[in-house]
Structure 1
Amino acid sequence: MAWILLVVAGVIEVAWSIGMKFTEGFTRLWPSVFTIIGIAASMALLAQAAKTLPIGTAYGVWVGIGAAGAAIVGMLALGEPATAARIFFIALLLVAVVGLKATSGH
């Protein structure tokens, strides 16, 4: 169950990090409200997952999902550059996330 919570927390992290772009420095009300709710929800789920998973693993996976997911969404939906180098480093992040999961002992 902790891994499911952690993956959901990571997906919410992608959503709030993309949402932050639309807050315009937290000057737009509704994008800011949704972003803040997303931050709180993502952190709460991470905290729940960290009750049973090692914190280094939980935090690393959470950050990895968020960073890779935000970069992918940025390239696919926001017109950010999709260079070979960026794709390579996103792949490295995903390998690291899988490696953390595989070596966590859970």
Structure 2
Amino acid sequence: MRLPRSWAWPVLLVSAGLEAVWANALSASNGFTHLPATVVFLLTVVASTVGLGLAMRHVRTGTAYAVWTSLGAVLTVTYSTLAGHEQMSWPKALFLAGIIACVVGLKRMDTHGEAGQNPA
């Protein structure tokens, strides 16, 4: 499947969002004993990984993987907090904001034309 370069970052961001969905679905599956959550996990883990792979055709591997895992982690914690599964604290919020700042920095570096991009 070919992905236009202009779609690489949007696909990467959606894939990071799907990572948060599958992480929370994995938790909700209760060790794969809850069928609906297990199905959501299986569908979203495949879709998230495929999206990451497609984005890696145009975004460097290290950058793409760092963005995917970082945003996935931030969104997972955010959802878990909003759902009441874990507590938010000021230090945790500060560290999560730091992760987002790093992702923005990685995106800006990619936008300014890093040498040696993956071939299209």
Cα deviation digits, residues 41-98 of structure 1 (max 9, x gap): 0000000000111011111111111000011111112341111111011011101111
The answer to whether residue 63 in structure 2 is matched with residue 57 in structure 1 is yes
The alignment of Structure 1 onto Structure 2 pairs a total of residues equal to 106
| Larger Rg computed on CA atoms | 2
Question: Any gaps of 5 or more consecutive residues in structure 2?
Answer: 1-6, 114-120
1:40 aligns with 46
Deviation at 1:18, TM superposition (A): 1.1
The answer to whether residue 91 in structure 2 is matched with residue 73 in structure 1 is no
TM-score, with length taken from structure 1:
0.94
Give 4+ residue runs of structure 1 displaced > 4 Å after superposition. none
Of the candidates 14, 17, 22, which is equivalent to residue 23 of structure 2?
Answer: 17
Q: Calculate percent identity across the aligned residue pairs.
A: 31
Of the candidates 5, 11, 19, which is equivalent to residue 11 of structure 2?
Answer: 5
More helix by share: 1
CA RMSD between the two structures: 1.1
Question: Any gaps of 5 or more consecutive residues in structure 1?
Answer: none
